[in-house]
Amino acid sequence: MTAFVKKYLKWFSTFLVLTGILLTNLNIYPINILFHGLGVVGWTIAGYVSKDKAILTNFGLQIPLFIIGFYKILFE
């Protein structure tokens, strides 16, 4: 799993986060939340697997914010 994380998950998650940021800057909503949120989940998994507390803290604490965004999209 560690080799997969180092080789693929971090880069794919980076692509998703940057795509989400681009879509936000282009005001393309709500798909921006989906891309960015999936990237954040990927980076959180990468931080957990590699035992990197800084990455885990940064991205892990973003997950509740994206849950709020998904909730607003689905239920409001």
Decide if pLDDT at 19 tops 90: yes
Task: Give the residue-averaged pLDDT of 39-45.
Answer: 96
Predicted pLDDT at 51: 93
Backbone angles phi, psi at 54, to 5 degrees: -65, -45
Distance CA 67, CA 51 (A): 24
Decide if pLDDT at 53 tops 80: yes
Distance CA 42, CA 49 (A): 11
H helix or E strand, kind and range, residue 18: helix 10-25
pLDDT classification of 10: cutoffs 50, 70, 90 = very high
Predicted pLDDT at 67: 92
Q: Quick check: helix, strand or coil at residue 30?
A: coil
Distance CA 29, CA 32 (A): 6
